[in-house]
């Protein structure tokens, strides 16, 4: 796995963002988001998940442990080359789901922006399988157990002194917004600094409005 960097033209960056893409994608699809962030004064680090883009591994295979491990490796690389003390995570879809897991698990991250992701992994998995009529298979039991052990929903207290922004399309048919709404309610009940924005009629996409809201939120939390 290779971590790339794009730096703002500003001599003193406002902060550093680590960006993660979604399933069956690659980091090259997010040039528009990287551009928005660097223009706003932020340095950006980005990489391809295992099995995606230029990274090694079976193509497009989802392994929760590998996703978190790769994000952790990318996090360490980003921090080693960062020009600012604080690191924020940005991710879309699978990247947004993983970002919420990593910001929950690691202490040296200031916050995270999840675009069309979910912080209640087990509930999102259940809803996805139900929506797409995926029949039960024996290996699901082990997979769900692994998901549950790292599920951010079970550890809201780990986000104290951190901030999260949850951005979801109201018509998303890939990652059910209802699970994210329940996760947001749980964070609110624990008095976590969390904001949830739902874009009515929007599917599983990153829009200019979503990018603008993400940059504005970041500006407020630096």
Task: Parse the chain into domains and list their residue ranges.
Answer: 4-221
Question: How many C-beta neighbours within 10 Å does residue 157 have?
Answer: 9
Yes or no: say if 67 and 94 are a contact pair by the CB < 8 Å rule: yes
Q: Distance between CA 6 and CA 20 in Å, rounded? A: 14
CATH for the stretch 4-221? 3.40.50.1820
pLDDT digits (tens, 9 = 90+) for 168-204: 999 999 998 999 999 999 999 999 999 999 999 999 9
Residue with tokens 């730096």: 7
Q: What is the side-by-side order of every strand in the sheet holding 193-199? A: 4-6, 42-46, 15-20, 87-92, 111-115, 163-169, 193-199
The whole-number pLDDT of residue 196 equals 98
The whole-number pLDDT of residue 188 equals 97
Q: pTM to 2 decimals?
A: 0.92
Mean pLDDT, rounded, for 144-160: 89
């Amino acid at each position: 796995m290779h971590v790339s960097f794009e730096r703002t033209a500003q001599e003193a960056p406002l902060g550093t963002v680590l960006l993660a893409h979604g399933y069956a994608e690659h980091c090259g699809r997010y040039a528009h988001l990287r551009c928005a962030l660097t223009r706003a004064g932020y340095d950006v680090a980005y990489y391809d998940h295992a099995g995606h883009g230029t990274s090694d591994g079976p193509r497009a295979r989802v392994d929760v442990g590998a996703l978190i491990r790769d994000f952790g490796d990318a996090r360490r690389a980003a921090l080693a080359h960062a020009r600012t003390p604080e690191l924020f995570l940005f991710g879309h879809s699978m990247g947004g789901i993983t970002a919420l897991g990593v910001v929950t698990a690691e202490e040296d991250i200031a916050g995270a922006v999840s675009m069309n992701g979910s912080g209640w992994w087990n509930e999102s998995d259940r809803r996805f399988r139900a929506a797409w009529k995926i029949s039960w298979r024996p290996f699901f039991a082990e997979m769900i157990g692994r998901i549950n052990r790292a599920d951010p929903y079970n550890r809201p207290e780990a986000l104290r002194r951190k901030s999260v922004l949850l951005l979801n399309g109201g018509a998303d048919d890939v990652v059910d917004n209802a699970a994210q709404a329940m996760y947001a309610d749980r964070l609110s009940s624990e008095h976590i600094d969390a904001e949830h924005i739902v874009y009515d009629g929007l599917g599983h996409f990153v829009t200019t409005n979503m990018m603008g809201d993400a940059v504005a939120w970041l500006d407020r939390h630096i």
